[in-house]
Amino acid sequence: MNYINRSAVLGTNVSVGYFTVIEKDVKIGSDVVIGNRVTIHEGTIIGDNTTVADGAVLGKPPKPGKTSTVKLTGTLPPLELANNVTIGANCVVYRGAKIGEGTLIADLASVRENVEIDESVIVGRGVTVENYVKIGAKTKIQSNSYITAYTTLEEQVFIAPCVTTTNDNFMGRTEERFDKIKGAHVKKGARVGGASIILPGITIGEETFIAAGALVTKDTEPKALVKGVPAKFVRTVDERELL
């Protein structure tokens, strides 16, 4: 049995699985498939030809802890999913996020509020995207990576599995940290190898290649290949590999 609020608007050819909840003022386009045990919170907007797999939670209102560095101000707009979006099983996508056309958010991923994801992005299985993150078109984030708050990934960036971005050099101590929290800025076409760690506020230059397992402690130049702990310049990326 499902619960669909009377104020919800469903387009043509919408399929809804069992035990799904659709709250008030939700708008769902045409040719949408919604799985079993899905919860779609108030006001969520879902575009045409979108698929939402079993157990997903869409438009969840955030409730930060008392000691969280990210504070909510004002009212968040509803979650928006553009056309042709795919939401995997047991994903959680919060209210206040905006997901671009053709984007895939894979099973068990989490996307927080105040996140903007452009078109044709892949957010892999188990990826966490925190608050105030911007992700450009055709970027790929592979399984189990962590994209911390206040990070920017420009278009066509590649993030390999288990990459960790950070934003707090004080690791939760001192009041001074609140004014200095900043994630990485990864510029167009950059590639970040598996299990790399990027320290707070680092800028990864356009078309940079970061080798697997690197610890990036300094900004990189465009087209630089860096590796090691800490990461150091090795050579310039081969012209054949550039976008």
Percent of the chain, pLDDT > 90?
Answer: 88
Contact 112, 131 (CB under 8 A): yes
Contact 99, 93 (CB under 8 A): yes
* Residue 107 counted as domain residue: no
pLDDT given at position 120: 98
Indicate if the pLDDT at residue 21 is higher than 80: yes
Is 209 found in the same domain as 161?
Answer: yes
Q: What is the mean pLDDT of residues 121-148?
A: 98
Token code pair at residue 161: 């599995």
Q: What is the mean pLDDT of residues 95-114?
A: 98
Residue 40 maps to which CATH number?
Answer: 2.160.10.10
pTM beyond cutoff 0.75: yes
Indicate if the pLDDT at residue 65 is higher than 80: no
* Residue 68 counted as domain residue: no
C-alpha 207/C-alpha 243 separation (Å) is: 8
Indicate if the pLDDT at residue 165 is higher than 90: yes
Token code pair at residue 158: 């590649």
pLDDT given at position 1: 84
Is 81 found in the same domain as 29?
Answer: yes
Is 83 found in the same domain as 30?
Answer: yes
- Please provide the average confidence, as pLDDT, over all residues in the chain: 95
Q: Amino acid letter at 95?
A: R
pLDDT given at position 169: 80
pLDDT given at position 60: 97
Is 8 found in the same domain as 89?
Answer: yes
The band of 69, judged by pLDDT with boundaries at 50, 70 and 90, is low
Q: Which domain holds residue 15?
A: 1-61+75-102+112-118
Is 243 found in the same domain as 197?
Answer: yes
DSSP codes, 196-210? -EE-TT-EEPTT-EE
Token code pair at residue 194: 């598996």
Pairing of strands 209-210, 39-40: unpaired
Q: What is the mean pLDDT of residues 82-102?
A: 98
Is 241 found in the same domain as 140?
Answer: yes
Count up the domains in the chain and report the number: 2
Domain boundary among 50, 84, 118: 118
pLDDT given at position 83: 98
Handedness of CA 170, 205, 98, 161 (dihedral sign): negative
